[in-house]
Each structure stands twice: as C-alpha cells, then as structure tokens.
Structure 1
C-alpha cells in the first residue's frame, strides 16, 4: 500500500483530517448567480470583473492557484504584477456570456500539473505575460466578432511573442493535516530582464458583514528576523500562522468593499479590499494599514529576472506558532518525499499504459482534483436577503430558483470548471465520479450522495440541475454512476460498500417517482424530459414552450428512463443478494422497463413509434392536436436508446428464485411486452440474459449509422449530430418561421438556445463514454461472433468489444501527438508552450478534434483517464520512445 493510500484510509477512519485543506478556492466568484442581487437576474452584468478587486463577495472567494480550509474561512492565493498591468492580478480574467461571441470563456493559460486525493502534494502552472494584460482588446475584439468567427484568445493578441512571459509554478506539500509547505517559482521565459512583483496573499472570507459573526483578525508577529510571520485568529477555525521567507514587506488591509470607488458613498473602513492594488500599482503607501493588522495580508516580493532565471520563494501555513526554522532542511525533504509519494501512488493507480498515456491520465486526474471547490449557497437567505443588508428586489420572490428555498449548500464539490462553471451540475457530477473513484472512492461516493440529501434534493424528489436554474432537467444518470463507482471500488480496491449503494438507492426511488409523475404527461411510458442537458440538439428549445404548441415525445428522454429502470434493477438485484426483500422492487423496475421498451418500439395503435423502420433510427415525435410528426434529425437523440441495456448472469438468477420466477412468468404470459425487449428468454454467451430497448436487428441498423464516417463516426469519437446534415439540413416550417438543424462541428452559430449551446456536431466525452459502456454490455451477451462493419463500408468487421476499444482509442487520440507531433486538442493554434502540457476542454470539434468551449473543464472530459485505463488493461503497451520536450520547459509532472 502506498503512503497516499494510507492517508486515504486515515481520512476514511477519521483519524486524520487530511482533506481539511485543499484547492477549494474558486477561480471566478464574480458574475455568478450567488453574487447576483439584481432586479432582472442579470448575473453576468451585476457583478463584473471590474468590481471583483474592490467588492467583498457574499458566498465565496476566488484566486489564482489558491487553497482554503473546507469551510473557506481562511484563504491563500498568489497575486502578481509585472509593472505594466493596469490592475494587480489577483484573479483570472475572462469574458462573461454577454461579452464573448461564443459565451463565457476564460482568457488565460494555466495548467493543473499534479494533485493527490488528500492534496498532500499539488502543483499548478500559470503563464503570465510580461506585457500589459490586454483586458480591453480581448473584450472589444470578441464583441466585434460574430458567431461564425472563432473566439479571440489571449495568444492571438501577441503578448506571448518571443516567449515574453513568466512561468509561475505553485507547489503545496503537507507535513501534516494542518501544516502546509508552499513553494513558488517564477521563471523569465523571455529574451530580456523583466521585473516581477509577487504577493502571496492570506485573507479571511468576509462572513461578519452578512451574518454578524465575530470578526477574525490577521496580524504581523515577531520582528528582526529574515522570516516574517502573519498570525491568523478565527473564532471557529482557531489560530494559524503563515511563515514567509524574506519578503520586502508585509502589508495589511480589510476584506471590505470599497464603497467609495464603486458607489460613491463613504467606506466603513479606510482600508478596503483593493488596497494592495492601490499600494503596488498606484504607489499609495497610505492604502495599507500601518499597524499591520486586518483581515487580508500579503507578503510583498520584488524580483528582476534575467532571461531564463528562476526566483523561488517559500512560505509555510500551519498551526505551529513556535517554528524556529520553518524553512530548514525539513522543508525540501518533505517536498521531495511528497513528490515521490505522488509518483508511487499514480504508478499504483495506472501501472499499464505508455508514458504518453500516463502523462495524459496524470494531468486529467490533476485537473479533476484541482477543480474541487467550496460551494456555499443558502437559497432562502439569498431570496430574502441578509439582516444587515438591503433587501433584494421583490421580483426575486418569483424569479430564478424561488422554488428551491430548502437548498443549503456548504460543501466541497467537484466542479465542471472553476472559472466558466464554478458551480455543480447534476449529470456532470455523476460523470465526475467515475475518474474520481479511480483515485478516491470515498470522495466520489460522497459527491453522489450529496445531491440526494434532503438539503439538495427537492421535497418532490427532483435533483437540482445547476445554479443558473435548479429546476431544469438533467439526464437521470445518478443510479448508473452509483453502480459504476460501487463496482470500481470492488475492482480497484477490493472493497464493497453496500451501505453506500443502499442509501443512494433509497433516495433515488424518490427521484424516479418524480420522473414518472412529472415527465410522462399522458401516462404512456413515453417521456418529455425537456432540456436534458443537450441544449440545442433538437429543432426547438426543449426547455421552453413549443412555438407549434403540443408536446414532444423524446427518444432520449424515454431512453434515459429505460436506462434508469435498468440501473435501478441492477442495484436492487445486487442488494437482494443479502436482503431478499429487494427482489420485489427489482421486479417492479423490470416490469416498468418492459412498458418503456414497448412504448419505444410499439408500431400501430395511437400515434407513431419513436423507432422509424424505414430509416432504421430513433427520432423524437412532435404531438399536435391533429397530427403526429416525426422529427427526423439524426442526432445523439437516436443513439441514446443504446444506453438502456443490462445483462443478467446465471449466478444472479440462481440466487434470486423469486425474481427468476417473475421473469419467466412474463416470458410465458406477456409476449406483447417481451417482443420489444432485445432478448429476455434466450441465453447468450455464458448463459447471460439481455434486457435492452435495441434488439439485434435494430442494433445492426443503428450501428451502421453510428460507425459511418460520413455520419456519426469522426476520427476522434462520435459526433452529437450526423455529418449527413452538413449537406442535408433538417428544416421544419411553422407559421412562416423556419426551424432548422445543420451540422455544426464547432460552436453553434445561433444564440437562440443560450450562450453555450453546442450539441449540433461536436464530440462530447460523457455520451461517448456511455456508448462505449453499452457496447461492452452488448458484447457480454452477443460474444465475439457478433461482428459489425467498422467503419461502415470499410470491409473490416469487428466484435462489439473491438468497436468499443476503437471508439476509446479515437477519443484518447485527441490528446496524443499525431504523425506531425501535434496534438489534435490544440487544433491549428500555434501555442508557444511545452509539448507535454494539456488542456481538457468541454467538448471537441466534430471533424478535427480541436478543443472547444471551456478550456479547463476537466469535469466529464476527465473520463479520458478511465478510457486510458480500460485500453491499457485490454492492450498492454508496446515500448515507446522517450519524448524530447523543449529544454527550457518546466517539468510536465512532478519527478522523484
């Protein structure tokens, strides 16, 4: 067992609180719903970036490469000034949804290089231009560009020419649960000597202004030493000390809003949040407190760096007031030890794979772990306002999220991205749990359980979708994720947590009931899920009232529910192995699945089927008063029926005689239902039984399109919309208005569905991952003799297991160097950065694999780590030649 695994066990047993401190600081708190107290819910405009340096936040904090305790009482992050910027750089800059030509987008370059599950070692790299940061140019040029043009990125401004930037590396290593070593390195990559100000900053989140709690204090202690010390005293957290090696000065202010600057009214304190900006950039000595006391403090270092020169500063944040030599030999020894332990841990997690694959996987894990965030949002208080603050506008009582007054968030959550999406999303969280379970099953399980707790789940059983609108509907993948995590913990760590599975199952019974009662409008087992996270994939905005009237029977909504039934069935059968009472509920989900499968495939009677026999594909159906119309868009909507599949082995059926007897009763007595299920009665390979919406003949026809490179199959995965629609757009006319779906491999050219609606052609990892999982299950039943042409028309026939591996290979190839040494993820961009540094984008170009959307959304794209693991186990790697990165590049990952 590695030392990191021992720490995880110590945390699990509550012996040591290793997770008390972590990378829990957001990378953007401004422009979020939580900080929005506007009348019309204009979050992006109400609290802009220009206010962030001067205005105290209500619900959280942000910073660069920062850490905090798990309740975010005390925060630490790095601030910078290159001598040219108009503002002190204390946070990452980007465009809000109303500013960018393709929605929100961070305009910085930073990389998560390493992180362990207990955060015993972490490493972060930030690329800081030496020229004045082009804030105005980025805003103005992106506003000028239309949706048909690419985004204007920081590198396009020319600030990185001739490598004129600093590499800032920030490393953290824990001596103990409350003793953290901090090492900051600054390297001049440019051709000339350049000045740099570094301000490692410690501050308290402002709670006292809102709830009247006791105010904490930071103060300078000691004198006449090469080490400066800041003492932090908090009524709940207790006392901590920040040791700073050799700064020029310690500066102090208050984490209070500068009302005079923002609103033209007197300040409550002469020392305000943006004092360090005024002191360093504006040279205002009086801006900081001469008594060296406050709620925000920084150690100020100035360095003039020659080309290639690196400056190193060291700090130590701990609960020990009496360290005589905080930066003695122990500092470097512990740091090297934690780096070695991180290497050892990840060698245990993924012993297979090529060096290139391990590099991709390591950075994917690092991103997943760095994107944890303290998320605080008490909706009732947000709706009503704080006692010490002016009341919110009356419109808030009937506005966004007013139906969720019970929601009380005060937790460490896995974020899709801490800049563009610094809030949780239900189906994102489910997918995050898969790679997280590979390194930290306890945290993964905790994330899944949280969303089912009574202070998250609505009393009616709905899971909160995401911050912008909790009442929107995400696909019901929680049960799938819970079962996956349960099985992964068994396979990787040899542990079985039935208690977790049972707790989640009981809560998901409520959620399943909500779906049945709210989303099956006519009680016919055909569902109208609405939005379902796929944004603009359909002809209409499915989260709004249809312009035609009527409603849509959704192929994807119904299929998600079929999958949900089978996931709940599988969980019930697993629990029934030790408690036979679960056989009854398993039978219930089995029966419900039969009705859904029947509704999906039924031909004749009222309406029309979601399966189109002529095209061999599933489509949505529009129901109007006088007619039903099949919306023939070839999209992921027609592939999602593949997800509804489960296989049952003879061992399971042998141990559960009551369930087996009910299954056989349906086989004998309900031929009308069983005909629409793939195969309940014929045993497959290994005597497995198959429950699936898509039967063998339908499977071959759907896969023919799925594996056609002129339709769904791209060089880098499965497209969300068929390439067929590039030359054959789907057009639907109603009352003189044309509604259409074109193939759009990158960003959407329409803003009708919201700023970040991009499901009309790109490759998305979560839905691809589920296709791969489904094909694996089909193969379990059908075996190696069932082969399909892959790619369609190639003459090459593969088993479904081989097809799944081929899809996984194509997805992983997004991050691997191609024959020219270029990684598809970066497209044609000529980035002046090291070859081994990676970004994990939100989604990927449907033709060339270039990363699009949020550039640091390591959330569900972190599934690449699981795909690499899967491929490595099936195909042991051949020896790989060593890479030859730039000599001047920093180490891509920690080395022992």
Structure 2
C-alpha cells in the first residue's frame, strides 16, 4: 500500500562501514560494543530520584552531581562507554577559574528556567558512523569563570514573556574567548579505540587549560546486590614502554582493558563513591577517596583526595597547558584497548586509523546520500545523522527495583508505593539497552513517539538498529501487559500518539521491503497495542477516542490529561484521527504480511472494518450536532460531552483538526489476491454501503481503492484552512495553532471562561512545565506526516486535483507539489537564506556571521510559527533529524 512518499534507494554500494554493519547487525555484536552511549545528563532524572515528592530535579541537582554516585547510569562530556555501561570514558576540563571541574553539561532545572529546563552550554556532534567506528564531537569551553549563579539568577528574574538568558548573553564568550575542544574516536578494532582530543584557543590572549581525560566504572557495588568491585590500577612508569602513562582496567564481565595516555600526565586515582561528608554532613565516607577526588585535587589542591598508585574505580590523566597562545592547538592522545601498550601504541598506525575511518565515513555517506545534494544540504544531513547517532544512550531502569529500593540503602519513602506514585503500575519494565534519545540533556530518556520518528531517519543509515528499537519498546519487558507502549520515564502511563506502526512501515520500505519477518513481529505486537487503545480510550464504544494530551502538551483550552468533572467526556479529534491512522498503518502491514503469512489476510479485513467504523463516527456520532466534523466551518474539532448527553464543540482551529488528513491509504492492486479481504469488501459494497463513507473507488482510477477521512469537498475545504497564511501556513511549515488567534479566542466550558491565543514562539503557558509549546510553533514530526498524507491523496486523485497554495494566491498546485512545499520550508530552516543566515538560528549567537558560530546548525525541538527560529531543546536532533529523511527524497526537497 503506497503512501506516495518517494522511496529511498533499496541498496547501497558496499563500503567499509556497510561491511561492518553487515558483520554486526545487532546491539550484541562486536562493532557495537563501544559507542557514545554515555549520557549527557544523569542527574535530575527520574531514575536517580528516591524522594517522597517525586521532585527529581531537586533530589539530585547539578550541584551534587560531581560528588554523588549515581545508581542507574553515568554522564560526561563527549564520552563513550560499553553497551552495558560498566566502563566509561569522557573528557573533563578546567580553565583555572571555575569553582568546579567541568565534567558535565550545565543547565537550569524545570523550576529554574523561565521556559522550563534549559541547557546553558554550546556543543555539537560533528560526525559519526552507525557502528561508531568514527566519532567527532565539539565542546565550546569559556576561558572566563563559568557564570553559574548569574544564569540562575537572571532566568529566575525573567518571566514567560521574555527570552531565555543564555550563556552567550553573559559576555563570557565575547571576543571568542573560548577553547574549542574536539574529541574524536576511531576504532582500530571493535575492542581497540584510538582517542584524540584537540583544544584550540580562539581568543585574543594566552589562556590556561587543564585537559583531564577520565575513565571510571559505574558504581554497581554499593547497593547490596553485587559486592564485586572492579579495579583501575595505574601502571608504574617503569613498566610502560615509551613516553606514556597507562591505567589497567579489570572487570569480571568486560575483562581487561588498558587506557594509555601519550606523554607524561599526572595520573590521579579515586573511587566512584559519594562524598557523604560533603553532601550530607556525615562523619565518614564509604571510601577514603570519593567521586569528587579529581576535582578536589585539581581545583582545590587537596593532595589527599587522590592517589597516584594503588587501585580505584575512577582515574584521570592530568594534562596542564599554561598560557596557550591565541590560535594555538594543544593535543592529547589516548588509546583504550585489550592489547598491552607497546612502542606502537601511538605510532604511525595510531594516526592512520583516524585518516582511514574519517575517509570511510565520507565514503559511507557518499553512498547513503543522494548524489545531487548541494554542499549545504549534504552538510545538514551529515549533522542530523551525527546528532542521531550521538543520541544513542544507555538506558538502565528496573522499575520494580527502583520502587523497592536496594538492600544496602535506606528504603524509599512510603509515598513512592502509593497508587498515585510514579510508575507504580509499570513494575514489569526493566531495561538495560542502548536507546535512541530525543535529546542528550533535556530529554535523556526515551519517548515512544519521538523514538518512532528517529527510526524513520535512522533507517537510511542503520536499518537494523531502527528495527531493533521499534521492536524493543514492544517487548514484554517494556510494553505493559495490557498492550500500552511506555510513554517516557516521568509517567510511563501517559499516552503518546500511535505512530509506531507508521514508523515500522517506513523503516521496512527504506530497507528495501524485504524483511517481512520484521513486519510480522512488529505487526503482532501492534495488535496488542491497538487493543489497548480500543479498550482503554474508547469509553463508550462509540469509535471516538479520548487520548488525553497525546504529546501535544498545551494545545487545548485546558489540560486534556487532567480528569474531567464527573460525567463529562472529551471526544478528541486528534485521538480519533490517530486511531483511524493507526488502522490504516496496520492494514497495509497486514496486506504485505499476508503474502507470507495468510492469516494476516483476516487481520487486514479487521482493520478495514474498524477504520470504516471510525470514519462513520467522526462524521455522525449521536447526531450531526455533535460530529467532530463541522460542516459550517469545514474543520474538525474536539467535542465535550456533558453528563446529560448534551455536547459542545470546542471551536479551536489547531493541529487537532488537521490530523484527520493523516488517515489515508491507497490499497495496492495485490489486495485482490487476498481472498478474505476482497470478499469482505465486496460484501460491504452490497450489504453495508453506509459504512463506505470512508472509501472511494471508481473506474476513473483504474479500480483502485482509497480510504480517507476526507471525501467530497471536505479535503479542499480543510486544505484551504491549512494553506492559509493567516491561519496555518508559515514560512517554516504548518503551524500547530491558527494565527487567527493572534486575537485571543474565548469560550465558556462548563460554566468557566477559557481563552487560548496564538503564541508563535516560547510557551507562555505553565502546562507540562512550560518548556514545550503547541499554541503556534511549527513542529517537525506532524509536518512530515501531513506532507506524507498529501502525497498519498495525490497518488490516488492525480494531477487534475489541485489546491490553491497559498490560499487566495491564485496559484494552484498538485497535492504532491503542495507536500513538496511543506518539505521545502522545513528543509530551508537549516539552509542559509538571502542574508546568509539560517532561519532556525533566529536571534541566537549561532546567527553570528562569525564562521566559528555559523558553521554549526542546531536541531531544535520546534520552530517559531512566524520566523522559523529554533526553540525549546536546542539539541533535540531526535525527531527534527527527520530533515535528513526529507533530504533523501528527490533533489533533497
């Protein structure tokens, strides 16, 4: 069943990286053992929260992170770890002025930022390959003291109607007074990693820099479950060949590795244990030398905080560079390997590995990306893929253990076990996997609908990993026994839109449409998820659904996740549309799978009938007065049903009313080969023609069948709204709320006056923390889905069906051309405009003409509905990396 989307190439010329992918298709294979799986932030996450009130941000804040051992994971700058998270490596920095060693990214917590949580650093994933045979990452480190207090205080002073106060606004980066620290990894073999760290002084004056590469074991021994303690032991300089220092790493599972460091840095050893005396004022510490020992030695001069011999569980190589001249680069070379260090460790072969792997990365993307891409578009795609690949992080979380607490630790407070406690109904969830994250700082945890979009983009470079990710969330240790997919760690029971099946279909297509075993596996699990939706989110069996906020945070007049007053029910246009969309995704999976597994023929029939029932209900449930489709406005709305059976349309034109467009599919001719499906369709035509309101077929279209929620004049009427520049069409794509509400819209709901207004940029609403806004900005994933749906309609209706774009312009285009226009506006966010600036950079420092800033696009969470400026999380390469998927199409859109 076609969606009308141009399909990527089904095969690529063999490259060295493709060969490695073939050798290691699964996460358990050798080339995937080491990767950028170390989190960008572990502090302030739900996993580390053992508080009574569930305030994760306050329970383990940034200020304690350098001295407090984590329970479930680790974090660091530009780091790597093994896929189990036992052994971790990252770089630490000190400029001689900061009050604490720079070991991790800093940002404001949800309560500190005037628009919610917000990272206050500058860094960029520069490159990467899917097996992580080559990785490059850049961090911009100020030479002045990092202004922690000023960032907190100024953002606390600002209201929601003001811009966020960023690091560049403090003046510490003026005159380019910073070091660019580039960290590169190149694998000589799956268990042999060459590491290169280069720091360049871009400022006008000499500046000091301390580079401290660190290696440490995740603390697995303090919780009363496994008292085996791994060891890091510095080798005596006399036992090391050549000009280097080395630390031996011994672990019962990983075995023996050696981290070698070129030159003569001072080796500092401590333990990855909490400093209880510093944190909590206790009399003693669990270990003599605690996690913050290296910080205490370098920043505070405490020689007793570290050892230079013996064993520990955390170690650092202390390189000191005094008065680095302007423009000069200082370098550090390391190697993590199972082989013993010798005179060749940093020889010609070490340097050749970097050249070879970088050339192979270029070769790989040369084969993956369309040949006709301009340099600008190719660079955007490479950066998008780099962000996605660096966003693969280890996620460990056993909810049962987390709720029960650990034997060697104080028991968690009783409040955690109450029915209202976080994730108490998800005790089955137990994950210890590398998972694609939305953002390595603001969202260092998976979200089910984000991940689905990630997988569509990842399918072009690593289809095996993309499939593995989709299947993982549907496995029995992740999916709830009742069939619900876990939403995200703050509330696994929240509801995300059902896009998993759509993503699975596109991953299948991008990989050459050969792996029907994958379709059968994911399709079977999606049957459970579909049943959960029907049983839990269709309260009265009306085929209309009440999904809650559905990931769209503050889009409604009120919080749609909050319980309604007794007897009220909100029939949602978006929830119902998502379910019609889900039906059609399952229908095409079943049609495809039925040619291998005939039983799927009957399942295809089931999803046909369920779609028709939903389509009928959306137009005419109860009476025409309460249908989701409003004939007068030519738009879909949510409907609030009152206890007495009365109802009221919530006449807010938003993305909620555009989503019915997504529910469309053109059946392939091969459906005629499915006996159950074809016979049932014929029966419906004869016996139940009233159910075929959502089905179109006639001789003009060669006997093909299109299923759609938008028939007759409904499609052009809805599109007239969508392509109206005074409503939804913006320079950046399709807005999430009509700009007509620049004049606020007010209505009465259950006796209360409620107002919504168009907010093109940052959220002025406190719903969901206020760090996401669906009241006007452009969001990448739903725009991609809308364009996808337009192509599907156009594939059936043909070039004779045209719409006016923009509305009122007199310019009539095909639906495929209209879809291309949306894609082009999305892609253009990252391309230099007539003034040489990227729209997504807006007024941020990245918009500076200075090439040191202009070279680095960011992939934001969403985009200003008027200007296209990137907003929200500034490193959410996750679903915004769908730009790479768009660039895979004809001419890179």
Displacement of 1:497 in angstroms is 1.0
Q: Does residue 889 of structure 2 align to residue 870 of structure 1?
A: yes
Inter-CA distance 394–15: structure 2 relative to 1 (3 Å threshold) = closer
State the partner residue of 2:547: 529
2:217 and 2:272 in contact (8 A); partners too: yes
Which TM-score applies when normalising by structure 2?
A: 0.95
Inter-CA distance 836–183: structure 2 relative to 1 (3 Å threshold) = same
SS of 2:237's equivalent? coil
In 2: Cα distance, 1:15 partner to 1:106 partner: 33
State the partner residue of 2:261: 244
State the partner residue of 2:650: 631
Q: Does residue 284 of structure 2 align to residue 270 of structure 1?
A: no
Displacement of 1:292 in angstroms is 4.2
In 2: Cα distance, 1:118 partner to 1:181 partner: 15
Q: From 81, 86, 92, give the equivalent of 2:105.
A: 92
1:167 and 1:188 in contact (8 A); partners too: yes
Q: From 831, 840, 849, give the equivalent of 1:816.
A: 831
State the partner residue of 2:859: 840
1:102 and 1:755 in contact (8 A); partners too: yes
1:301-348 deviation line (CA, Å, top 9, x unaligned): 011310000011110011102433211000111110100000000011
Inter-CA distance 14–855: structure 2 relative to 1 (3 Å threshold) = closer
Q: Does residue 242 of structure 2 align to residue 223 of structure 1?
A: no
Q: Does residue 596 of structure 2 align to residue 578 of structure 1?
A: yes
What does 1:38-437 align with in structure 2 at a 5 Å threshold? 38-210=51-223, 211-224=225-238, 225-265=242-282, 266-304=284-322, 305-350=324-369, 351-398=371-418, 399-437=421-459
Displacement of 1:829 in angstroms is 2.4
1:81 and 1:88 in contact (8 A); partners too: yes
In 1: Cα distance, 2:621 partner to 2:443 partner: 43
1:805 and 1:871 in contact (8 A); partners too: no
1:731 and 1:741 in contact (8 A); partners too: no
Q: From 556, 573, 589, give the equivalent of 1:538.
A: 556
1:74 and 1:204 in contact (8 A); partners too: yes
Displacement of 1:810 in angstroms is 0.4
1:685 and 1:780 in contact (8 A); partners too: no
SS of 1:12's equivalent? coil
What does 1:753-764 align with in structure 2 at a 5 Å threshold? 753-764=768-779
Displacement of 1:670 in angstroms is 1.1
What does 1:786-801 align with in structure 2 at a 5 Å threshold? 786-801=801-816
State the partner residue of 1:889: none
In 2: Cα distance, 1:107 partner to 1:345 partner: 33
1:242 and 1:315 in contact (8 A); partners too: yes
Compare 282-291 and 22-31 and name the one that shifted more.
Answer: 282-291
Compare 59-68 and 820-829 and name the one that shifted more.
Answer: 820-829
Inter-CA distance 156–589: structure 2 relative to 1 (3 Å threshold) = same
In 1: Cα distance, 2:836 partner to 2:740 partner: 31
Displacement of 1:16 in angstroms is 5.4
Displacement of 1:740 in angstroms is 1.4
1:678 and 1:694 in contact (8 A); partners too: no
1:788 and 1:798 in contact (8 A); partners too: yes
In 2: Cα distance, 1:738 partner to 1:297 partner: 61
2:125 and 2:136 in contact (8 A); partners too: yes
1:715 and 1:849 in contact (8 A); partners too: yes
In 1: Cα distance, 2:138 partner to 2:358 partner: 16
Q: From 649, 661, 671, give the equivalent of 2:689.
A: 671
Q: State the Cα RMSD in Å.
A: 1.4
Displacement of 1:247 in angstroms is 3.5
SS of 1:34's equivalent? helix
In 1: Cα distance, 2:702 partner to 2:76 partner: 55
2:554 and 2:765 in contact (8 A); partners too: no
1:251 and 1:292 in contact (8 A); partners too: no
1:540 and 1:546 in contact (8 A); partners too: no
Inter-CA distance 609–411: structure 2 relative to 1 (3 Å threshold) = same
In 1: Cα distance, 2:542 partner to 2:563 partner: 21
1:72 and 1:374 in contact (8 A); partners too: yes
In 2: Cα distance, 1:664 partner to 1:131 partner: 75
Displacement of 1:250 in angstroms is 0.6
Which TM-score applies when normalising by structure 1?
A: 0.95
In 2: Cα distance, 1:684 partner to 1:544 partner: 48
State the partner residue of 2:491: 469
Displacement of 1:656 in angstroms is 1.7
Inter-CA distance 394–243: structure 2 relative to 1 (3 Å threshold) = same
Corresponding residue pairs, total: 866
State the partner residue of 2:7: none
Q: From 432, 453, 456, give the equivalent of 2:475.
A: 453
In the alignment, structure 2 segments of 5+ residues that lack a partner are: 1-13
State the partner residue of 1:880: none
In 1: Cα distance, 2:567 partner to 2:267 partner: 65
1:683 and 1:689 in contact (8 A); partners too: no
Q: From 603, 623, 626, give the equivalent of 1:608.
A: 626
Inter-CA distance 222–352: structure 2 relative to 1 (3 Å threshold) = farther
Q: From 779, 793, 810, give the equivalent of 2:794.
A: 779
1:823-852 deviation line (CA, Å, top 9, x unaligned): 111102244533221110000101000010
1:413-451 deviation line (CA, Å, top 9, x unaligned): 000011000100010111110010010000000000000
SS of 2:415's equivalent? helix
State the partner residue of 1:888: none
In 2: Cα distance, 1:547 partner to 1:579 partner: 47
Displacement of 1:868 in angstroms is 1.4
Displacement of 1:367 in angstroms is 0.1
Q: Does residue 2 of structure 2 align to residue 2 of structure 1?
A: no
1:763-804 deviation line (CA, Å, top 9, x unaligned): 000100100110110111011111100111111110000001
Displacement of 1:754 in angstroms is 2.9
SS of 1:147's equivalent? coil
Inter-CA distance 685–18: structure 2 relative to 1 (3 Å threshold) = farther
Inter-CA distance 576–325: structure 2 relative to 1 (3 Å threshold) = same
In 1: Cα distance, 2:88 partner to 2:698 partner: 61
Q: From 503, 507, 531, give the equivalent of 1:485.
A: 507
State the partner residue of 2:704: 688
2:860 and 2:872 in contact (8 A); partners too: yes
In 2: Cα distance, 1:342 partner to 1:701 partner: 47
1:678 and 1:696 in contact (8 A); partners too: no
In 2: Cα distance, 1:41 partner to 1:374 partner: 23
In the alignment, structure 1 segments of 5+ residues that lack a partner are: 876-896
In 2: Cα distance, 1:267 partner to 1:86 partner: 22
2:88 and 2:217 in contact (8 A); partners too: yes
1:140-168 deviation line (CA, Å, top 9, x unaligned): 11111011111101110011101100000
Displacement of 1:605 in angstroms is 3.1
